[in-house]
Structure 1
């Protein structure tokens, strides 16, 4: 499961949002970190997903994967991998994306595309490795990709009743994306009971989390803002990702 954040039009907030990425965050990410999720489809185990972030020689690398369970693979194999490399943002922070690569296999559906970000010139270079299509896209300052945007939200101070607005490049378009901070809620999982903050990204996306309805994410209500649960409607039924293991700050 790759979590993406594309699709909202709130141009009035653009300037305030893009500047905010350079301000000291309210929380610091624990790097390195690896999160492992069970994916269930309408209550049935459907696969496994991972999210990993690590520092490498002055850069930050984020990798998200999803793989279908054996019983699904026989008729609808899923093997997704999304990777983004960012400039180093300092301890517990992330910088701006340098490269983004999405490679998706879901049944007969395929995606293999790359983006090279040049923030200094305000240009992103897009390449579709399947069709051979190439193009250049003008990008505003502090533009994120869909994967890095999710981790950036985890560095912010989230107040119930407010919204966070992000500038994101997705599908060759620039989106001003709203993430609503809805409420606080106590939930139980295999790892225990958590006090959480529930957020709602207003978005569409490609890959296993291609949605047809609302998406909700439960983040721990502490300095980690650890995503312990995610749920969304898809083309048929719903998919829930629940944190079951990994290597992260306890």
Structure 2
């Protein structure tokens, strides 16, 4: 069984032209209820804060007590972005990923060098490290989630983005499917539905068929995510947090 919302969110990939980089709040918290076959199984929290010219993103996912007895989930991902100027989102500087899902463990970090177009990846469990080449438009699996929200989505078009997953650079297609209005615990939202076509082996291939609903506004907040697994389906639905500015263009109707 697969619970982590981080991996579902990491599947949010890249559409077209950029909105201003301030399209989403630089200090933001998103909270999700994660259900498996209709039962609440975990809570996922995603937070953004700014420190000087850096943007720090932290994602945590923890399972509920009833599921801990047979499949405990305790995931934490961190990403540090050097903020860009003007309408540029910025470039990744550092990424760290700690995964505990049942018997599966992962603890890795990566140091990005956008000038030399390379990244040093370290496996902190087996003490190994290596250097890989990257493209000029490479993001880690967490920062790409926030990068996509600064971009325009056009239903019917597919686009591509490079994502570095600690040992491999994947060029991934994302399909922008349609506009759709959905209900959540926070009300109804007008959304744009996107679907990444994952080709990665290992870590990414442990997810199934991923679909993501983003608010149809400049903030592009992920309000719902689903992925099929071997038994049933995982659904993450927004349930709280702080995200819309006081004068923001919220698209929910209660």
**TM-score per shorter chain, which class?**
0.7 to 0.9
State whether residues 84 and 147 of structure 1, in contact with CA within 8 Å, keep that contact through their aligned partners in structure 2.
yes
Q: Please give the secondary structure, in 2, of the residue aligned with 1:195.
A: strand
User: Which TM-score applies when normalising by structure 2?
Assistant: 0.86
* 1:45 and 2:51 aligned: no
| Number of the residue aligned with 1:125 | 120
* 1:140 and 2:146 aligned: no
- Which residue of 140, 144, 152 maps to 1:157? 152
Counterpart-to-counterpart distance in 2, 1:143 and 1:128: 20
Offset of 1:227 from its aligned partner?
0.7
| Worse-matched range after superposition: 30-39 or 164-173 | 164-173
* 1:172 and 2:160 aligned: no
Q: Please give the secondary structure, in 1, of the residue aligned with 2:144.
A: helix
Offset of 1:5 from its aligned partner?
3.4
| Worse-matched range after superposition: 124-133 or 158-167 | 158-167
- Which residue of 226, 239, 245 maps to 1:244? 239
Q: Please give the secondary structure, in 1, of the residue aligned with 2:127.
A: coil
Following TM superposition, the consecutive aligned residue runs of length 4 or more in structure 1 with deviations greater than 2 angstroms are: 23-27, 89-94, 204-210
State whether residues 6 and 170 of structure 1, in contact with CA within 8 Å, keep that contact through their aligned partners in structure 2.
no
Offset of 1:248 from its aligned partner?
0.7
- Which residue of 5, 10, 28 maps to 1:4? 10
Alignment of 1:92-111 (within 5 A): 94-111=89-106
The runs of 5 or more residues in structure 1 that have no matched partner are 8-16
* 1:198 and 2:204 aligned: no
Offset of 1:236 from its aligned partner?
2.5
Offset of 1:141 from its aligned partner?
1.2
Judged with a 3 Å threshold, the aligned counterparts in structure 2 of structure 1 residues 6 and 192 are, in CA distance, closer, same or farther, namely closer
Q: Deviations over 1:49-97 (max 9, x none)?
A: 0111121111011111100011001221100000000101257863111
Judged with a 3 Å threshold, the aligned counterparts in structure 2 of structure 1 residues 155 and 6 are, in CA distance, closer, same or farther, namely closer
State whether residues 101 and 115 of structure 1, in contact with CA within 8 Å, keep that contact through their aligned partners in structure 2.
yes
| Number of the residue aligned with 1:25 | 19
The runs of 5 or more residues in structure 2 that have no matched partner are 245-249
Q: Please give the secondary structure, in 2, of the residue aligned with 1:75.
A: helix
Offset of 1:220 from its aligned partner?
0.8
**Superposition CA RMSD, Å:** 2.3
Q: Deviations over 1:91-115 (max 9, x none)?
A: 7863111000000111111000000
Judged with a 3 Å threshold, the aligned counterparts in structure 2 of structure 1 residues 168 and 241 are, in CA distance, closer, same or farther, namely same
User: Which TM-score applies when normalising by structure 1?
Assistant: 0.87
